[in-house]
Amino acid sequence: MTAFPSDPDDETLRNLVEALGKSGQAVSIYDAEDNLRYANETYRGIFLKGYEGPFTFTEILRHGARNGIGVRIDGGDVEALIARTLPRRRTVPRKSFESDFLDGRWFWMDHTILPNGWVLTVGADITALKHNEKSLRQAHEAALLASRTDQLTGLPNRRHILELLDEALDCARASSADLCVAVIDLDGFKGVNDTHGHDAGDAVLNHFGATCRARMRPQDRLGRTGGEEFLLLLPGVRLNDALRLIEEIRSGFPAARLRKGTLELPCAFSAGIAEVLPQDDRSSILFRADRALYAAKREGRNCTRIAFER
């Protein structure tokens, strides 16, 4: 590189930067006027590729922005970054922070104001740690999702759909919003298992869940509470509209195709709907919806009944 600034004259400082320069870390020293006075090979590789000056903090940032090197800038506005950074560059004697670079690496930067007003920055490559952190976060998110999901249907499992019900009840109480819940039970499901085996029963459950999801509104939530039972949350509607929505799901409900399409099993269901009242909690609303479901079962199945009781 041509016209690179000379090393600092102070012997102690020179010994320090020589030791740091051998460490594989990114090391730089800027003087009190923010002129770059020293940069080791790692720092030069990040910020100074093809650059011949002027070697000031702001011009190095601009060079990086023009050439796609150096620090990643949110929004791509280097002047806004400079305006934010310069006033606080020397406000505290020492600070540490993460930096995300355009080459995909992450560095932990240790920024120290020396007694003479110069700035020493030492950056340690933490890319591997960030990748491990991302992997751990993804593993945690996957485990959390698995703990909330019914493995067969991909729907929220019993615990999660009940949590969603609690959240919906809190929201309805806080905003006086309408909310209906429907308890759903597949008709004749035991006969499917007894006649065709549990694999056929699993296929019917999966088919039911997938078909319902395709016919629901985006804001509705369906979960499997166990066996052939499901819970449907219908926010923002009163009883009559909830009944209409469920009957739209029921209308022309396709049969489940099994064994490469050679066997068709009708997929009928009974449902009980209850509208949330101001005093309702989880137990009371589910109790009323269950009573409506039992009425649908008694009255011939493959129908929906409403809980009017208060």
Residues 6 or more apart whose CB falls under 8 angstroms from that of 187 comprise: 268, 269, 270, 301, 302
DSSP-derived 3-state class of residue 304: strand
Just give the CATH number of 11-131. 3.30.450.20
For residue 228, indicate whether it is catalytic: yes
Strand partners for 95 = 111
pLDDT reported for residue 1 = 38
Just give the CATH number of 150-307. 3.30.70.270
Q: Which of 18, 98, 167, 228 is catalytic?
A: 228
Per residue in 215-251, pLDDT (tens digit) is 999 999 999 999 999 999 999 999 999 999 999 999 9
CATH 3.30.70.270 maps onto the chain at 150-307
CB 182, CB 287: distance < 8 Å: no
In whole angstroms, give the CA distance from residue 159 to residue 247: 26
CATH 3.30.450.20 maps onto the chain at 11-131
- Of all residues in the chain, what percent carry a pLDDT higher than 70? 91
In whole angstroms, give the CA distance from residue 91 to residue 39: 23
Strand partners for 226 = 229
Per residue in 160-196, pLDDT (tens digit) is 999 999 999 999 999 999 999 999 999 999 988 888 8
Q: 149 vs 154, 156, 211, 227, 253, CA distance in Å?
A: 6, 5, 17, 14, 24
- Of all residues in the chain, what percent carry a pLDDT higher than 90? 55
Listing DSSP states for 198-254 in one string gives HHHHHHHHHHHHHHHHHHS-TT-EEEEEETTEEEEEEET--HHHHHHHHHHHHTTPP
pLDDT reported for residue 137 = 81
pLDDT reported for residue 11 = 67
pLDDT band at 42 (very low <50, low <70, confident <90, very high): confident
pLDDT band at 17 (very low <50, low <70, confident <90, very high): low
Dihedral angle of Cα 108, 109, 110, 113, to the nearest 10 degrees: -170
pLDDT reported for residue 9 = 55
